[in-house]
Structure 1
Amino acid sequence: MDLSYSAEQSAFRAEVRAWLADHVPAAPLEHFDATREGFEAHRAWERTLNAGRWGMVTWPEDHGGRGLDLIQWLVFEEEYYRSGAPGRVNQNGIFLLGPTLMEFGTPEQKARFLPPMAAGDEIWAQAWSEPQAGSDLAGVRATAVRDGDDYLLSGHKIWSSRAVFADWAFGLFRTPGSERHKGLSLILFPLSAEGVTVNPIAKINGHVGFAEIFLENVRVPAFNRLGDEGQGWSVCMATAGFERGLMLRSPARYQEAARRLAALYEAQGDKADTGLRARVARAWMDAEAYALSIYSTASRLIAGGSIGPESSTNKIFWSEMDIRLHQTALDILGPRAELLPEAPDAGDVGDWLDDYIFALAGPIYAGSNEIQRNIIAERMLGLPR
């Protein structure tokens, strides 16, 4: 990608690259949702990042960041993925809840929740979906009943990412008697609280990346409500904008995958298969196009703009691009693509199969692509419901 960077941005890139070269673990960490030990190893890495003030560079310095802008964050992400650094175990916190706290939180809430989030001392799970409310988020049934200075939380959440080993969750709750978008509130609650039961949900690879959460009269202070009571839908849509349109899937993730795909094609691809070559080229161009789009969005936000329904177009693009890219890798590998890396005849298959299986979930999480197309039709194109 041909972008012009300022001298300050180039110096920042060099600083990031040097720090990562000195600190990225020499051996890959066990995946954070495989075991408690793997999770804690990633927590330790978050603490290492925080010690260098790299946990979230856009946050204010007094909350553990560097006070930098979104362009510098994108530069950091490019170097982060290029270095092969560990995946971020606290991405639900720093990339989703953190920016939402910046926008809707009180000074006291920011002081309470942001520093331990940046430090990895409190790892966050997202507790929005319910058995009857997945993509239709306004259909949540879990309730928050006010009791003096507290709320009593009750209900059933499911597909809560990171919840098996996490410390806290941010959940969407309904005031009894309210309907659909009205009366929803976003409330933060500790997963260790009395009345909380967390049941792991194993993925196809055996890792417990998700959980269902049962809440029975869980008492939390009203201080933990983010935004006004009944403002939860607006707060959650801001979080969803960060999730779909900017921070959850930074372009560097796909640029690095496209580089790996090109290298795989050069090493093992059938050069006579022009269709395969075109698919590799498309994966590269799609990753670069997505990066340019996100740079444009970041520039607009720096200038005072906001993330609107166009975040749905980004979500569709990156989720479908991810599947195509990894399907191409499996086709290059041929029959060996079905083997796990530790299989005797696997050779250098890498993690392409595992990453492909994860990519298949992309059109579902962060709001299914069917719902995103409805949003585009109604809110961007003005089509009837």
Structure 2
Amino acid sequence: MDLVESAADHEFRLEARDWLQHNRPAESLPSPDASREAFEANRAWERVLFEAGWAAVSWPVEYGGRGLGLWEWMIFEEEYFAAGLGPRAAQNGMFLLAPSLFEFGTEAQKAALLPRIAGVEDMWAQGWSEPEAGSDLAGVRVNARRDDAAGGWRVNGQKTWSTRAPFCNRLFALVRTDPESTRHHGLSYLLIDLEAPGVTVRPVRKLGDQIGFGEIFFDDVFVSDADVLGEVGQGWKVAMATTGSERGLILRSPGRFLASAQRLVDLCRKTPDASAAQRRDVTEAWIRAQAYRYGGMKTMTRIAEGGSIGAESSINKVFWSEMDVRAHEIALDLLAERAEIDTDWWHGFITSMATPIFAGTNEIQRNIVAERVLGMPRSGR
């Protein structure tokens, strides 16, 4: 791992910085979770990114990318968030589904789906959680029974806490295709049209009155064989690759936390009465963001050499989620009585409180680290 940026990488960074400076939206975009109008405003911006070749810099050109590598992706992410831009409305498709498509998709699936993800023609929601299966993903009950005559599956059941489902037209979901199976056996990974007959999506309001979550009901919804990602019955394997992207480097790139740490430093500099303890807290938050960046560089080096992140993504998830919460706590402490409701730091704090829960609760992630990374025995053995 070379910590010194090459001349080519530095030139790419300057190109990205200059383009973002001259093309970013004139006004800050609202959270894509706030409303359909906010979601569509973010989607329009991402279309600008796509048309200029910045939507997916590390993807092959034929799928809407630039044919570059993970290093360039990381550089662009750093410049993107440093420019004051927020999370992507298309992030579920871009950063969760797409890596799994590259790994498990057929050539036909990749050719049909990846360009539409890059061009924000399809917007994807995630169908993991259910009323009786939250962090315990292996407990999913949504079922799909075989329909040989139609050449596919009939899906029934309910998903919940699906991010941006009220605004999306497609869903990737883990469902049970073997009615006799239990736990992580007999599951399949389906790509579902949310506009198909039998699908009902209901918004779930968040604490800040945003409607970016949804619950989804399936009533005999047909999904063709062409929309099974990976092999039937091997959905757990595909889903674990997706959760690796969600918990690891891809969904929560270092650039996001570097930008947040810099904002925190700027806030501290504008707070003349900040105590020594508060300044120390800010310094530690900045160091944590830098540590996450270098950890990300180590991960990218491993991937570039043919490795994978695997269960170690759970270490990343615990680290970035707790780092996010702590940074916002420090900001609110600095603001003190100025920490008014309806400010960026306040909304960021509310959002950060969910990060130790989504993508698998941190309690579950610590168990994964203990058992699968450190090789410790399960309790009770």
Q: Is TM-score (shorter-chain normalized) higher than 0.5?
A: yes
**8 Å Cα contact 2:124/2:168 also seen in 1:** yes
Give the Å deviation of 1:17.
1.2
Give the Å deviation of 1:26.
1.1
State the Cα deviation string for residues 305-350 of structure 1 (Å, max 9, x = none): 1111111111000000001100000000002214324xxxxxxxxx
- 1:317 and 2:324 correspond: no
- 1:188 and 2:183 correspond: no
**8 Å Cα contact 1:198/1:214 also seen in 2:** yes
Q: What does residue 107 of structure 1 align with?
A: 107
Return the alpha-carbon distance in structure 1 between the equivalents of residues 92 and 341 of structure 2: 31
Return the alpha-carbon distance in structure 1 between the equivalents of residues 366 and 87 of structure 2: 29
Q: What does residue 28 of structure 1 align with?
A: 28
Q: What does residue 300 of structure 1 align with?
A: 302
Range with greater deviation from structure 2 (281-290 or 261-270): 261-270
| Change in CA separation of 1:197 and 1:269 when aligned onto 2, cut-off 3 Å | farther
Q: What does residue 276 of structure 2 align with?
A: 274
- 1:205 and 2:208 correspond: yes
Return the alpha-carbon distance in structure 2 between the equivalents of residues 141 and 87 of structure 1: 31
Q: What does residue 289 of structure 1 align with?
A: 291
Return the alpha-carbon distance in structure 1 between the equivalents of residues 42 and 130 of structure 2: 28
Query: 1:304 is paired with a residue of what secondary structure?
Result: coil
Matches within 5 A, 1:1-385: 3-148=3-148, 149-175=151-177, 176-268=179-271, 270-271=273-274, 273-341=275-343, 351-385=344-378
Aligned AA (2:263): R
Scaled by the length of structure 1, what TM-score is found? 0.95
Return the alpha-carbon distance in structure 2 between the equivalents of residues 340 and 160 of structure 1: 24
Q: What does residue 344 of structure 1 align with?
A: none
Query: 2:297 is paired with a residue of what secondary structure?
Result: helix
Return the alpha-carbon distance in structure 2 between the equivalents of residues 14 and 260 of structure 1: 21
Which runs of 5 or more structure 2 residues have no equivalent in the other structure? none
Give the Å deviation of 1:270.
2.6
Return the alpha-carbon distance in structure 2 between the equivalents of residues 109 and 153 of structure 1: 20
State the Cα deviation string for residues 129-166 of structure 1 (Å, max 9, x = none): 00111110000000111112111111110000010111
**8 Å Cα contact 2:35/2:212 also seen in 1:** no
Return the alpha-carbon distance in structure 2 between the equivalents of residues 340 and 56 of structure 1: 32
Which runs of 5 or more structure 1 residues have no equivalent in the other structure? 342-350
Return the alpha-carbon distance in structure 1 between the equivalents of residues 202 and 236 of structure 2: 27
**8 Å Cα contact 1:71/1:299 also seen in 2:** no
State the Cα deviation string for residues 67-113 of structure 1 (Å, max 9, x = none): 11111110010111111234300100000000110000000000111
Percent of aligned positions that are identical: 52
Return the alpha-carbon distance in structure 1 between the equivalents of residues 341 and 30 of structure 2: 19
State the Cα deviation string for residues 4-56 of structure 1 (Å, max 9, x = none): 11111111111111211221011012321222211111111111111012111
**8 Å Cα contact 2:166/2:214 also seen in 1:** yes
RMSD of Structure 2 on Structure 1 (CA): 1.1
Give the Å deviation of 1:269.
5.1
State the Cα deviation string for residues 242-296 of structure 1 (Å, max 9, x = none): 111111101111111110001101102534x221111101000000000000011
State the Cα deviation string for residues 151-209 of structure 1 (Å, max 9, x = none): 11111100000101111010000021111111110101011111111010001111112
Return the alpha-carbon distance in structure 2 between the equivalents of residues 333 and 374 of structure 1: 36
